[in-house]
A and B are shown apart, each in its own frame.
Chain A
C-alpha cells in the first residue's frame, strides 16, 4: 500500500516536472521575485494592478484559442474580431440603445464570425490558417465600415455603466477584468476536464480520423470550438471597451500573435491534442511580465517583439525535444 502511494507521488511529481506549464509557472515566479528586488516600481500595488488587468485581455482570448489549438487548428482572426465586436458594441450604444442590446449585438457578431469559421473549416474543408487569415482582414474592414473609421467614445445612456463594467474594481479592489478572466478560466478548465465536449476536443486533436470512426461528432465540435474562440475575442472586446472608454479601429492589431504565444508558451501543442486553461493564463502572465519588465528595466520597447517571438520559439522547441525523447523510447 505504502509502495503504491509512493509510486503515485513519484508519477505525480514526474508528471509535473515534465509539464511545460509547470516550468513556465516557475519562470513567472522567478521573474516576479527578481523584478521585485531589481526595480523599485515593479512590486508596487499600482503596477501589479496594471499587470493583472493588462494580462486579462490576452488571457481571456488565449482560453478560447487553447481550445482551437487543442483540436489542431489555429485562429488568426481574434484581434480583428475583437475590434469588430467592440465597434458593434460602441456603435449600437452610441445610437442610443442600452448596454444589454449593445452586448447582445457584440456577442451575436462574435458567434456569427465563429460560425462562419466553423462551417468553412469543418464542412467545406478549408484550412483554418487560410479561413481565419481571410477573416482577419474582413473583420477589421467591417469595423472600419461600421464606424466610418472614427473613434467612438460616447456610449449613449449606459455610458457610465459600460465604463464601470470594464474599468471598475467591485470586489476587494481586484480589477473587474481579472474577475471575468478567473470565472472564464474556471469554466474553460471545467469543460475541458469534466465534460464529454472537452474529451472530444482532445480526441479530435489527438487523432481526428479515429475520433470520427468511433462516433465523435467531429464537425459540430469543431464549429463549436471556433465559435468559442471568436466569443472569447468578443468578450475581451466588450471588457476592453469599458476599460479604455474609447474604440479606435486599430485596437487589437497584432493581438493574435500575443494570444497564440500565450497559449503555446502555456503548453498548448500546435500539433494538437495538448493544452490546458491554466496554461493559457500562465502563458499570458509570462508575456505580460516580459512586456512590463522591459519598460521598468529601461530596455527600449522596440525589443518587445524579439522577446515575445523568442519565447514562442523556445516553447515550441521544448515541445519538439519532448517528442524526440518519446520517440526514442
Chain B
C-alpha cells in the first residue's frame, strides 16, 4: 500500500525493529503461545487478531515486559531483548496503551500523561512538580496529535476519543519506537473511532511501529499494513493487508480455514 511507503526503509525491504524467533509461553500445562516468529518494521502498522484466548494478550505482554518467554528469543534493533519488568520495556522504547487506558479520572490530562514520570523543578533540597512545564509539553503533544484535548482539563470530563489521545500522548513522551495498542476502538463511538485511527496513522508517519490488537475487522483493514492471526497460541496467518480479505481473516480466526495460503 502506497500510504505506508514513507515509513519503511528505502531499499524496499523494510528493516526489522523487533524480531521474535520461535517464541513460546506456557503457564504450567497451558501452552498460551506456541512457537511464534514475527518481525516488525519501523513505520509499520500490524493488526494482531484472534479469538479470545488465542494468545494475543500473552504475546503482547511478553513484548511489553510483563512476562518472560518460556522459549525463543526477542531481538530489538539487532540486540537481544531481555526484560524483567514493564519499566524496562519503556526504557527500550516500547510503550503500551492499555485496553482500559489506565487513566486517573480525578487528575488533569497533563497529570495523566506524565503519571509515573513527572517533570520536577529543584527548590533547594526539595523537588517540586513542574506544573507549567508539564502542561506546556502535554499541550504540544496534543497539538501534534491534532487533538483538541486541553492539558488542564480533568480526564473525568472527557470523551472517549480525548481519553484515547491522553493515553496515546504518554507514548510520545519518550522516543517510543514501538507502540502496542490493546483494543483501542472497542468501546467508543464511530466518530471517535475515526479519531483514534487517525492517531495511529500519525504515529506510523513518524516512523513508529504500531501493533494493533483488535476484534474490529473494519478498523484493522483501515489502518494496518499487515495482519497477523493467532489461533490457539499459533500463528496461522501473516499477510499483507492487500493480499487478504475480511472473509479470509474471519475464517482463520474461527478455524474454518486452517492455515493461510501465503
Instruction: Give me the interface of A with B, judged by CB distance under 8 Å.
Output: 194-196, 199, 202-203, 205-207, 209-211, 213-216, 273-274, 326, 329
Contact = CB atoms under 8 A, between A and B. Distances in A.
B129 A199 contact: yes
A277 B104 CA distance: 21
B100 A209 contact: yes
A209 B105 CA distance: 12
Nearest to A11: B152
Contacts of B127: 195-196
B104 A215 contact: no
Contacts of A196: 118, 120, 127, 129
Interface of B: 86-87, 90, 98, 100-107, 111, 115-118, 120, 126-129, 156-157, 170
A209 B100 CA distance: 10
Contact of B106 (A205, A214, A215, A216): A205
B100 A215 contact: no
B120 A210 contact: no
Contacts of A274: 106
13 contacts: A194-B128, A196-B118, A196-B127, A199-B107, A199-B118, A206-B104, A207-B102, A207-B103, A209-B102, A210-B104, A214-B102, A215-B87, A215-B117
A196 B111 CA distance: 11
The secondary-structure label for the interface of chain A is: helix
Nearest to A196: B118
B86 A207 contact: no
Contacts of A215: 86-87, 90, 115-117
A215 B127 CA distance: 19
A274 B156 CA distance: 13
A202 B107 contact: yes
B107 A206 contact: yes
B115 A211 contact: yes
Contacts of A213: 86, 98, 102
B32 to A, nearest CB: 20
A195 B126 CA distance: 9
B168 to A, nearest CB: 14
Given A211-B115, A214-B115, A216-B116, A202 B104 contact: yes
A206 B103 CA distance: 8
A196 B127 CA distance: 8
A273 B100 contact: no
A262 to B, nearest CB: 21
Contacts of B126: 195
A273 B105 contact: yes
A273 B157 CA distance: 15
Nearest to A216: B116
Given A210-B103, A210-B104, A273-B106, A199 B86 contact: no
